[in-house]
Structure 1
Amino acid sequence: MTFPERFSNLPEYAFPRLRSLLDAHAPGGEVVHMTIGEPRHAMPDFVGEVLAENVAGFARYPNNYGTEDLLGAIRDWLAMRFGVTVDPDRQIMALNGTREGLMNACIALCPETKGGKQPVVLMPNPFYQVYAVAAVTVGAEPVFVPATRESGFLPDYHALPDEVLDRTAVAYICSPSNPQGAVASADYLRDLIALAEKHDFKVFSDECYSEIYRGTPPVSALQVAQEMGAAPDRVVIFHSLSKRSNLPGLRSGFVASGAGNIDHMKRLRAYSGAPLPLPIQAVSARVWGDEAHVTASRALYVEKFDMADRVFDGIDGAGAPEAGFFLWLPVADGEEAAMKLWTQTGIRVLPGAYLSRTVAGENPAKGYIRVALVAPKEETQRALETLRDCLFG
């Protein structure tokens, strides 16, 4: 039996790799999971009530693109949060979380060729792994652009040669970034959108961590694009309730863009998408309309940011990020650090190299570990102190 060769060079996904690295060794203490970005703060207290009120909806096929109530709630949230104006019927589509949208947008919107050549899909390195799989799926060339401390943990797409930029069909950007927690400023996004206008490619902006921050709220690429007067289809943004509202199991998010892009994505979804069940859409509409739970959850993260700053005070590069909920800690070698933590303390973290790709013999994330700050404060405090003493003591 033969299999498609296009996926043969994909590295094993991060978490199976981590299990292969650690699971043959006994933990050195009580196991503490700090690997997966699964929020553990309280979800909104009205979720069960709304779900129960709408349970009869499981007996009906759901609206493929989003109910009127859900799309209206998303429109209102975008206007409130970012000051943007969108037509809910033509410029928004509901998603089963952002991963579905980030994949299917590339399938729907990346052309087979660009200027008669193989198209390029740009992505930061390290990156959310679906970006690379999406590029490979559509037959594009994935180009991994370092997002290092020197570049502010964001990719410098301007540094690429014109030959690459002229073939570029899609550029992924994640802000706040996973795993580093860097926030793209309005100037950064303005320059990126101008570059996309010059070389005629689309910007896919993964913004699922936008509501977890300290200080200034992150801006949206759609917000900047509208302020610039950029072509409506130039930017595609993706949001989710997983991180914002501590509902990773709800699998609910949305994509917003110009009407042309959304029309193409709807055509694909009509054949291959998985629409949200009607009770889930009802819950989602209510959740997008409530900010009180978001504010409370963000305050807890800010407390943990401050805690991390205190724990790692004096250790260069080891403080908490601007946003998101991961620490991106510099170490000599990520795999060695993860193994040491596991076998000596029982703390489980993710080597940075598992989120990155080696290019020209260099992996920009090899010297990092990713640490999720999703546990309750007391557990997080103990784990961070133990981690510090083990790796930096």
Structure 2
Amino acid sequence: MFPERFSNLPAYAFPRLRALLDAHDGGGPVRHMSIGEPKHPFPAWISDIVVQNAADFGKYPPNEGTPELRVAITGWISRRFGVGMNPDTQVMSVNGTREALYNAGMALCPEQKNGQRSVVLMPNPFYQVYMISAISTGAEPVFVPASAETGHLPDFASVAPDILARTAMVYICSPANPQGVIADEAYWESLIALAETHDFQVMADECYSEIYRDSPPPGILSVAKRMNAHPERVVSFHSLSKRSSVPGLRSGFVAGGPESISRMKQLRAYSGAPIPLPLQAASAALWEDEAHVEDNRALYRAKYALADRIFGNVPGYMPPQAGMFLWLPVEDGEAATLKLWKETGVRVLPGEYLSKDTQTGNPGKGYIRVAIVAPYDETEAGLTLIRDCLYGDDC
């Protein structure tokens, strides 16, 4: 009755977490540190813009975004990455990056490449929508380890030549979820060169690009421009959820070559849900303002320093370069998660729930992912409980 390719999907991470923890009582007040839902305040003037444009809830919004929103997006791309893009042909608004990342595969991934079933490469650990998009298109998802040995970024150049010959798309997240590492310009250059050689597209999930410790992460669009890569070679995805702490706005964009965006627009005309006009007006204002982003980033920087202080003596602790998670080493992520819940009431996510089992094991099994999205005092209390419960004398 149902397509076979969906018959053996692994359970999504958070239902798995509930199944693990909810049969047990928590050992203290519940502290949610498993989900990356930003908790910082968003700009108060956003509400005013929505109210001022509330009458437009009575109109159908354009699928691809209003001209004003698309101009605001391309203006931000120009200021942030030094790349000029046509607002009519090279960007499209979307309901957050998850929708766009899924539909990119549906719109852009061919069923076959070089006469064989297409391959979609992705990091392991990975954001699970990458895998579902690949499976939905009939492509074969191939998981490339992003472990300590590879600097927590996937070494796509190590993939076997016969797999690269079938590769149609690559998904990559930078700054990385969950590890918080950044793909530097050399990494982007190497990946784009590999894509040019083997003729595949790079889907760059850059939704955490504005939350960082020191220098702004380089963007794939600027590197592709400097390399004079094929205009359809890279597609970039960004969101306001993390940058502006408005996950409920469900607003982001996809940027790429005219043909890629045209194909995604065509699919979205049939299957996408456009952002309501008052929310598009608010989105345009957010892309045009940097002051609130700097304030938001300062809050995360303070929590990076907090994490360094609390876990700095833990063997294997990796200070995050960017993003909103800690990727903490443990002997067994699932066992550590259950212990934390039963003894402290803190809920985190086992690293293996974000990873795929392979012949060499699960690269996330020895980690837990901890979201540092709550206010400073709440984060400090939660991290202290994690340290005392899991690491004890190691600290």
Q: What is the TM-score with the length of structure 2 in the denominator?
A: 0.98
Q: Which residue of 2 aligns with 1:28?
A: 27
Task: Classify the secondary structure of the residue corresponding to 1:182.
Answer: coil
Alignment of 1:1-393 (within 5 A): 2-393=1-392
Offset, 1:361: 4.9
- Matches of 2:125 and 2:207, distance apart in 1: 16
Deviations 1:167-215 (A, max 9, x none): 0000001000000001000010000000000000000000000000011
- Matches of 2:188 and 2:318, distance apart in 1: 25
- Matches of 2:110 and 2:189, distance apart in 1: 24
Aligned residue type for 2:193: A
Preserved contact between residue 308 and residue 319 of structure 1 (Cα < 8 Å) = no
Change in 2 beyond 3 A, CA 1:185/1:84:
same
Task: Classify the secondary structure of the residue corresponding to 2:24.
Answer: coil
Offset, 1:44: 1.2
Aligned residue type for 2:191: L
Offset, 1:272: 0.8
Aligned residue type for 2:78: A
- Matches of 1:135 and 1:188, distance apart in 2: 23
Aligned residue type for 2:175: P
Aligned length: 392
Aligned residue type for 2:186: D
Offset, 1:316: 2.1
- Structure 1: 5+ residue stretches without partners: none
Task: Classify the secondary structure of the residue corresponding to 2:113.
Answer: coil
Aligned residue type for 1:145: V
| Dislocated runs of 4+, deviation >4 Å | none
Aligned residue type for 1:332: E
Aligned residue type for 1:58: F
- Matches of 1:144 and 1:325, distance apart in 2: 23
Aligned residue type for 2:132: V
- Matches of 2:230 and 2:5, distance apart in 1: 33
- Matches of 2:376 and 2:175, distance apart in 1: 22
Offset, 1:317: 2.4
- Matches of 1:4 and 1:319, distance apart in 2: 41
Aligned residue type for 2:359: A
Task: Classify the secondary structure of the residue corresponding to 1:358.
Answer: coil
- Matches of 1:279 and 1:135, distance apart in 2: 33
Deviations 1:112-161 (A, max 9, x none): 10000000000000000000000000000000000001111100000011
Task: Classify the secondary structure of the residue corresponding to 1:369.
Answer: strand
- Matches of 2:208 and 2:360, distance apart in 1: 31
Offset, 1:320: 2.8
Q: Percent identity?
A: 60
- Matches of 1:9 and 1:278, distance apart in 2: 39
Task: Classify the secondary structure of the residue corresponding to 1:89.
Answer: coil
Aligned residue type for 2:124: N
Aligned residue type for 1:239: H
Q: Larger deviation: 354-363 or 329-338?
A: 354-363
Aligned residue type for 2:142: V
Offset, 1:319: 4.1
Aligned residue type for 1:382: A
- Matches of 1:207 and 1:317, distance apart in 2: 26
Task: Classify the secondary structure of the residue corresponding to 1:362.
Answer: coil
Task: Classify the secondary structure of the residue corresponding to 1:35.
Answer: coil
RMSD: 0.7
Aligned residue type for 1:133: I
